[in-house]
Amino acid sequence: MELTYFGHSCFLLETNGKKILIDPFISPNELASEIDVNDIRCDYLLLSHGHEDHVADVDAVLKNNKDCKVVSNFEIIGWIQGKGHENVHPMNHGGKFEFDFGSVKYVNAVHSSVLPDGTYGGNPGGFVFESEGKTIYYAGDTALTMDMQLIGTYSKPDLAILPIGDNFTMGVDDAIICSDFIKCDNVIGMHYDTFPPVKIDHEEAKTKFNKAGKNLELMEIGSKKAY
């Protein structure tokens, strides 16, 4: 499987021949000015919650990918259907479903969620992917929460994509505790540097993870990694 980083919390996961785009916020992100959202092709669009910095480019993605299946919670799927896009798959917390690329479980996040037009976004979540014999936890926007221990109980992810920018979500120190809870030593950071309150010191963050016996990767925007 391959993972491409498009900045902030937006990733493209490619597995079993399918492209899964998560939380598109590219055109408003100055740090991602090299990326053209109109170049992105995907088979699935996953949305963790309704905030602008996770759904800003939904219309562009749907315009360019009319056949993509949108996966999110029940309330956000209602908002997507209101746009006239009917290829959808609603989920809710604790539920897992087998898609043609692998399984997705929608898991708890402690945060808030409203869509940019004021529509209620339901409760925010994260995703646990199982595909090609690997497990990836994408936390979404969340505080550190004891519920993360459940993920370490049933999954033990090979890779965790965690928010580390603090202020709106966990910061580095809490993300390290999270990685203990989920029993995963391989972390990719997200939700940092995009806005002034979430700017972080990259070297300090990596050093803190190293001291805890863990690896933090901060992917270059536009870069791709194989797993």
Residue 53 sits in the site that holds Mn ion (CB under 5 A): yes
Q: Where are the beta strands (DSSP E) in the chain?
A: 2-5, 11-15, 18-22, 44-46, 69-73, 88-91, 96-99, 102-108, 125-131, 134-138, 159-163, 186-190, 215-217, 224-226
Between 75 and 141, CB nearer to Mn ion? 141
Tell me, residue by residue from 30 to 59, as one string, x for binding to Ni ion by CB under 5 A and - for no binding. ---------------------x--------
Tokens of 180: 């203990």
Tokens of 206: 């990596």
The span from the CA of 55 to the CA of 10, in Å, is 10
**Smallest distance from Ni ion to CB 54, Å:** 6
**Smallest distance from Mn ion to CB 87, Å:** 25
Q: Is the dihedral of CA 153, 155, 160, 161 positive or negative?
A: negative
**Smallest distance from Ni ion to CB 4, Å:** 21
Residue 191 sits in the site that holds Ni ion (CB under 5 A): no
What residues between 89 and 148 interact with Ni ion by CB under 5 A?
141
**Smallest distance from Mn ion to CB 157, Å:** 21
130 binds, among Mn ion, Ni ion, none (CB under 5 to 8 A by kind): none
Residue 23 sits in the site that holds Mn ion (CB under 5 A): no
**Smallest distance from Mn ion to CB 202, Å:** 19
Please report the DSSP string for 130-185 in residue order: EETTEEEEE--S----TTHHHHHHHT--SEEEEE-B-SSS-BHHHHHHHHHHTT--
Residue 69 sits in the site that holds Ni ion (CB under 5 A): no
List interacting residues with Mn ion (CB under 5 A): 51, 53, 141
List interacting residues with Ni ion (CB under 5 A): 51, 141
